[in-house]
DNA sequence: TCACTAATGTACGAACTAGTACGTTAGCTA
DNA sequence: TAGCTAACGTACTAGTTCGTACATTAGTGA
């Protein structure tokens, strides 16, 4: 099996810095996500790559920096997805719902990312703070939300007095919790929040919640 | 300083199994919450108690069981708080808002609990699964929500078709995320979700969100 | 008051783990 | 094609960490 893996390259090392780095990052993402920062084993990461532990230190410097690199790549994925957001041609209500659904989909599709963020929060975001790349850039989604909110408020559709960051927090909290806390929630309440047949239910629930909040009739209160 | 700690007990060990156990649990809660399961150090926990590592193994059996005991006690605190819920004399809208606010307050007041739950989710709730105490009992809050929802729906106030578990998830997600993800959220978006002067803002936002969702005019959709 | 047990303390070890010193080689370029 | 360097591998170590064997004592009941 091991010899079939690669296409007829019987002997000798192949040198490919980019591939080696990427492979280390792939495996490290899995291992950190599986066991947390302290629980992850550098030896285990190395063993699961085609290279050795030496290369981890050669390319990344240490366990701490490797985790930072893993985080940086994970965040870059969501940032790229957000840059593809194309919802501003929709009316504000539909645009926000679509945005919420895309956030929902992205969280569901990337449970490893959710776990890494949970782990980073246990460590009080110290790796983000230490990273030049992560500290500076914001979220493309935030700008999109800002513009939709403005349009919706001008047209009188949106009555709520929220800013983009808080609305982003509201949407993220539901999407994040559903994935991050699925195990304890499932164990305690006997309900699987990520069961495939409940997916549409929760996706709709999220959209309904956000739209209801934004368009609620405040004259009643 | 060390001699002033205890009231005039100059020499000899004082034996108090209950106090020793409780002290170990207190320190272990802090240490696990600070560093995660793998990151927590049994020696460190022992050093910060008035007893020795030996006692951890004597009373709890090992690191794994100690963490389970810490979790069990942390969950028992929230369960006790939920048993004191007294909102059913209010009208359904006020009752749900009050319940949401109490959940909000409890999460804010117990960041260690939030961290422990995050950590337990990284470990896929394996300790909850292994615990007889935690696996069986549900949440008292759930029964309260169930009854309020029924009253609200009968009276026509609540139009949303949610059950108690999903509403609980919605409320918890906002409260939990605000505390659990405050570090990454703060680092990435420059906003402190637990800033004291924003407390009322987010508390109100949560209530507004839940009520808007429950009472939204569905004939418009 | 004597003996017995629950509770406690000390000292230690086996296994693990992050990190490194040192040696090797593929592949490019002059 | 010779030589140079980035890329890679091996073997090892110093320090840590969970867990335990063994010794001791406080308090209680006969």
What's domain B73-220's architecture?
A: Orthogonal Bundle (1.10)
Report residue A217's pLDDT band, with 50, 70 and 90 as the boundaries.
Answer: confident
Over residues B159-183, mean pLDDT: 97
CA of A65 to C1' of C19 (A): 13
Give the Cα separation of A201 and A104 in Å (integer): 12
Higher pLDDT pick, A221 / A40: A40
Least confident of A40-44, A57-61, A138-142: A138-142
pLDDT at residue number B198: 97
Please check whether residue B172 touches A, CB under 8 A: yes
* Nucleotide nearest residue A52, measured CA to C1': D9
A40 Ramachandran zone, left/alpha/beta (phi>0; psi -120 to 50): beta
Give the Cα separation of A156 and A214 in Å (integer): 11
Report residue B7's pLDDT band, with 50, 70 and 90 as the boundaries.
Answer: very low
Out of 1.10.10.60, 3.40.50.2300, 3.40.630.10, 1.20.140.10, which CATH number does the structure's domain A15-61 have?
1.10.10.60
Q: Is the fold of A15-61 the same as that of A72-220? A: no
pLDDT exceeds 70 at position B10 = no
CA of B15 to C1' of C2 (A): 21
CA of A18 to C1' of D6 (A): 12
Which superfamily does A72-220 belong to? Tetracycline Repressor, domain 2 (1.10.357.10)
- Taking each helix axis from N to C end, the angle separating A111-122 and B111-122, rounded to the nearest 10 degrees, works out to 140
Tell me the pLDDT tens digit for each residue of A146-169.
999 999 999 999 999 999 999 999
> What SS3 string covers A32-51?
HHHHHHHHCCHHHHHHCCCC
pLDDT exceeds 70 at position A114 = yes
A193 close to B163: Cβ distance less than 8 angstroms: no
- How distant is the Cα of B20 from the closest Cα of chain A, in angstroms? 27
Q: Let me know if A147 is exposed, middle or buried by CB neighbors in 10 A (0-12, 13-18, 19+).
A: middle
pLDDT at residue number B208: 98
pLDDT at residue number A14: 80
The percentage of chain B sitting over the pLDDT mark of 90, rounded to a whole number, equals 86
Please check whether residue A172 touches B, CB under 8 A: yes
Report residue B221's pLDDT band, with 50, 70 and 90 as the boundaries.
Answer: low
pLDDT exceeds 50 at position B8 = no
Question: What count of residues does chain B have?
Answer: 221
Higher pLDDT pick, A5 / A17: A17
Measured from Cα to the C1' atom, the residue closest to C18 is A42
Compute φ and ψ for A21, nearest 5 degrees: -60, -45
pLDDT exceeds 60 at position A130 = yes
Tokens of A111: 């449970």
Report residue A79's pLDDT band, with 50, 70 and 90 as the boundaries.
Answer: very high
A43 close to A55: Cβ distance less than 8 angstroms: no
When scoring B67, B188, B193 by the number of chain A Cβ atoms within 10 A, the one with the most, hence best to mutate, is B188
A159 close to B99: Cβ distance less than 8 angstroms: no
Residue B10, classed as helix, strand or coil, is coil
The percentage of chain A sitting over the pLDDT mark of 90, rounded to a whole number, equals 86
Query: Domain limits of chain B?
Result: 15-61, 73-220
Over residues A25-53, mean pLDDT: 98
Give the Cα separation of A154 and A102 in Å (integer): 24
Which residues 70-89 in chain A show a CB within 8 A of chain B? none
């Amino acid at each position: 099996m091991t010899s079939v893996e690669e296409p007829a390259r019987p002997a000798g090392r192949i040198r490919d810095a980019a591939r080696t780095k990427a492979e280390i990052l792939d495996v490290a993402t899995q291992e950190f996500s599986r066991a947390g920062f302290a629980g992850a084993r550098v030896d285990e990461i190395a063993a699961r790559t085609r290279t050795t532990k030496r290369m981890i230190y050669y390319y990344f410097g240490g366990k701490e920096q490797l985790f930072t690199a893993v985080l940086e790549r994970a965040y870059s994925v969501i940032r790229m997805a957000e840059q593809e957001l194309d919802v501003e041609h929709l009316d504000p209500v539909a645009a926000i719902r679509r945005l919420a659904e895309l956030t929902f989909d992205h969280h569901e599709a990337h449970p490893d990312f959710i776990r890494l963020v949970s782990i980073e929060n246990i460590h009080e975001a110290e790796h983000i703070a230490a990273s030049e790349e992560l500290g500076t850039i914001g979220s493309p989604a935030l700008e999109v939300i800002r513009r939709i909110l403005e349009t919706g408020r001008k047209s009188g559709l949106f009555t709520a007095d929220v800013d983009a960051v808080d609305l982003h927090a509201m949407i993220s909290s539901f999407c994040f919790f559903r994935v991050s806390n699925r195990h304890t929630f499932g164990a305690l309440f006997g309900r699987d929040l990520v069961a495939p047949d409940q997916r549409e239910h929760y996706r709709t629930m999220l959209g309904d919640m956000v739209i209801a909040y934004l368009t609620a009739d405040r004259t009643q209160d």
